[in-house]
Amino acid sequence: MTPRSSILSTADTRRPAVATAALREFARGGYHGTTVANVAREANISPAYVFKLFPRKEALFAAALEACFDAVVQALEEGADAADSVDPTEILDAMGGAYAALIRDRTLLMLQVHAQSVADIPEIGDALRAGLARVTQFAKERSAGTDDDVQRFMAYGQLCHLIVTARIEESPASWAQLLSHGIRHPD
C-alpha cells in the first residue's frame, strides 16, 4: 500500500474557502433563500464543484456553521488572553467583550440566527449544537467559572443576539432600555 502524500488535494485546500463563502451567503439569505449556485458564485467555482466538496446543501451549511464557531472560539480565546485578572467573572466579561466586537460585523451573528431557524434539519441542528457545545465548554474550561457563571454568559450572548438583530438598542422605549441596560457593544 502506498503511503498517502502529505500534500493536500485541491479539494482539501478548497473546502475552507468554500465554507467561508457559504458562511457569507447563508448569513445574507438564510438556508432557504440561498442556493448552492449563490455559494459557488461567491467562491468563484462551479456549482458542480461545490457539490463535489459538499454533497448536500445541509453539509455545506453545516461547514459554514463550523467555520462560524471556529471564529467565535478564536475571539473568545483572544478575549480571555486579554483579561486583566484570573477571576472567572472578569475572564467571561473579557470574552463577552471580544464576542461583542466580533459581531459588529453581523455575518457570524446572522448565520447563527439562520441556523437556529432551521435547527430542525438534523445535520444543521447537530452542527449548531456542536458549535454551542464548543463555546460552552471553552467558556467553562478557560474561565474556570461555575456552571451558573457560564450559563449566565451564554444567556447574555443570546440576549446580545436579540438586541443586535432586532436593533433594540436604537429604541428609546422603556422595554428596550430594560433589555439593553448594562449591555455594551463596541461602535
Domain that residue 90 falls in = 10-180
Residue 185 has pLDDT above 80, yes or no: no
Whether 140 contacts 88, CB under 8 Å: no
Measured in residues, the chain has a length of 187
Query: Of 181, 182, 165, which Cα lies nearest the Cα of 173?
Result: 181
What are the tens digits of pLDDT across the range 56-115?
Answer: 999 999 999 999 999 999 999 999 999 999 999 999 999 999 998 998 889 999 999 999
Residue 85 lies in a domain: yes
Residue 1 lies in a domain: no
What is the DSSP secondary structure assignment for residue 45, as one 8-state letter? S
Number of structural domains the chain divides into: 1
Residue 165 CA to chain centroid, in angstroms?
Answer: 14
Q: What is the CATH number of the domain that holds 80?
A: 1.10.357.10
What are the tens digits of pLDDT across the range 105-145?
Answer: 899 999 999 999 999 999 999 999 999 999 999 999 999 99
Residue 185 lies in a domain: no
CA gap 67, 72 in Å, rounded: 9
Measuring CA to CA, how many Å separate 145 from each of 21, 26, 45, 156, 185?
Answer: 35, 34, 45, 15, 23
Residue 48 CA to chain centroid, in angstroms?
Answer: 26
Report the percent of the chain where pLDDT is more than 70.
93
Residue 60 lies in a domain: yes
